[in-house]
Amino acid sequence: MELVASWPSHMALRDIGAYARRVEGLGFDVLHVPETVHDPFVAAALALTHTSRLIVRTSMVVAFPRSPMLTAYAAWDLVALSGGRFELGIASQVRGNIVGRFSTEWSEPVARMRDYVASLRAIFGSFQTGEPLHHIGSHYRFDRLQPYFNPGPLDHPAPPIWTGGVNRRMCVLAGEVADGFVCHPTSSLPRVLERRTLPALAEGARTAGRSVGPRVVAGPQPIMAATADDLATALDRRRPELGFLYSTPAYRRQLEEVGLPELGATLSRLAQQAQWDDLGAHLTDDVVGRLVPVGTYADMPDLLAEWYAGRCAGLVLTVPDHTDDDHHYRVLVERCRAIPSAPARWSGSVDDPDLSGSS
């Protein structure tokens, strides 16, 4: 199983080098770099220059505010800088952020993302071969790349393109065009993977005539600690966060999958009334245990194996804020690597009527 850590978005840029070295020392294979309050390409460059083995993957760059050409230049540079250790993850984001936060025109996201990926592959091909760039798609047109502006070929393959998404159409698209797919935490429940995400990815792969679908990384965000007392404290810290996360109406389907159909409506009502302090009270130990794996460092590898063996190619694990338990955590990472991953080749069918949702 590939093991993935995520860079905490609240961390200052000056600290990412030390954090990346720590993650590499703990035995992780990949570091995910999100886009929240820092430029993800700058953060990725810092992580890459402070490590020697770790793969650094953006998860996820917000695609639409950036021209595919700008994204391609950044990704190409990072592959060259790192000797092939950079991977590009891109996502669509929601309309409110695209329009209100980035002041970018909104359009149908699935078709636009399809053309974005096609544009990137065309640009990468021109970079590598020197052939004239010619891509005319539904949203992007690229027909000019003079030799002066072409960075030239890499000594490594072009960066793999990863996507993410929650709803069916974006998952189907990933099955058609992506090298990898990162599941949202609310879509990382085993039942959701089996009933929704994996069948949709398989549908896309079949549509595109691919025998091998994208590699899938699940992000369960497990709650874990060294001792039972520390675990109880960690549980209490996470209750409000989970309450806020699942107050989003789009995630009610996931709650239904684990037998909690009324919880989403309750949490949404509290959020609408700005009763933020009351959200966590509805996340009892039983409820939390249905939504995320909960256990000590010693117990977590077996629990994660029970949830995810054979269901995905990688897992995102939470790294403790402090280094006191790193000796325990290093053993946990080593044990989790032995969890059987999903086979490289898979097929499936979409027979769940709820998979007919929008993008």
For 114-131, what is each residue's pLDDT tens digit? 999 999 999 999 999 999
- Whether 2 and 29 have beta carbons less than 8 Å apart is answered as yes
pLDDT over 60 at 211, yes or no = yes
Give pLDDT tens digits for 314-330.
999 989 988 999 999 99
Q: Is the dihedral of CA 209, 191, 229, 338 positive or negative?
A: negative
Whole-number average pLDDT of the chain? 93
Tally of domains in the chain: 1
Residue 283 falls inside a structural domain: no
Residue 345, pLDDT score: 46
CATH number at residue 346: 3.20.20.30
User: Which percentage of the chain shows pLDDT scores above 90?
Assistant: 86
CA distances to 195, 198, 287, 291, 300 from 306, rounded to whole Å, are 17, 18, 18, 14, 10
pLDDT over 90 at 9, yes or no = no
**Residues found in the chain:** 359
pLDDT over 80 at 20, yes or no = yes
Q: What is the rounded CA–CA span in Å between residue 290 and residue 283?
A: 10
Neighbours of 334 (CB within 10 A): 13
- Whether 272 and 285 have beta carbons less than 8 Å apart is answered as no
The Cα angle at residue 333 between residues 332 and 334, in degrees rounded to 5: 90
Give first-to-last CA distance, the chain, whole Å. Answer: 29
Residue 253, pLDDT score: 80
Domain assignment of residue 17, given as a range: 2-227+293-356
Residue 356, pLDDT score: 35
Residue 325 falls inside a structural domain: yes
Give pLDDT tens digits for 283-313.
999 999 999 999 999 999 999 999 999 999 9
Residue 288 falls inside a structural domain: no
- Whether 288 and 235 have beta carbons less than 8 Å apart is answered as yes
Residue 282 falls inside a structural domain: no
Residue 359, pLDDT score: 40
Q: What is the rounded CA–CA span in Å between residue 172 and residue 202?
A: 7
Residue 350, pLDDT score: 41
76 or 261: which leads in pLDDT: 76
pLDDT over 90 at 249, yes or no = no
Residue 157 falls inside a structural domain: yes
Residue 25, pLDDT score: 97
Give pLDDT tens digits for 152-194.
999 999 999 999 988 899 999 999 999 999 999 888 999 999 9
Q: Is the dihedral of CA 100, 103, 106, 111 positive or negative?
A: negative
User: Which percentage of the chain shows pLDDT scores above 70?
Assistant: 96
Residue 344, pLDDT score: 53
Q: What is the rounded CA–CA span in Å between residue 359 and residue 354?
A: 13
Asked whether the bond before 11 is cis by omega within 30 degrees of 0, the reply is no
Cβ within 8 Å of residue 252, ≥6 positions away: 246, 261, 264, 265, 268
Which amino acid is it at 65?
P
Phi, psi of 24 (to 5 degrees): -60, -40
Cβ within 8 Å of residue 188, ≥6 positions away: 218, 219, 220, 221
Q: What is the rounded CA–CA span in Å between residue 170 and residue 173?
A: 5
In this prediction, residues 1-26 reach a mean pLDDT of 96
Q: Categorize the per-residue pLDDT at 355 as very low, low, confident or very high, splitting at 50, 70 and 90.
A: very low
pLDDT over 70 at 354, yes or no = no
Residue 351, pLDDT score: 42
Residue 252, pLDDT score: 81
Q: Categorize the per-residue pLDDT at 352 as very low, low, confident or very high, splitting at 50, 70 and 90.
A: very low
Q: Categorize the per-residue pLDDT at 357 as very low, low, confident or very high, splitting at 50, 70 and 90.
A: very low
Residue 278 per-residue DSSP state: G
Residue 112 falls inside a structural domain: yes
Residue 31 falls inside a structural domain: yes
Residue 277 falls inside a structural domain: no
pTM of the predicted structure, to 2 decimals? 0.92
Residue 303, pLDDT score: 97
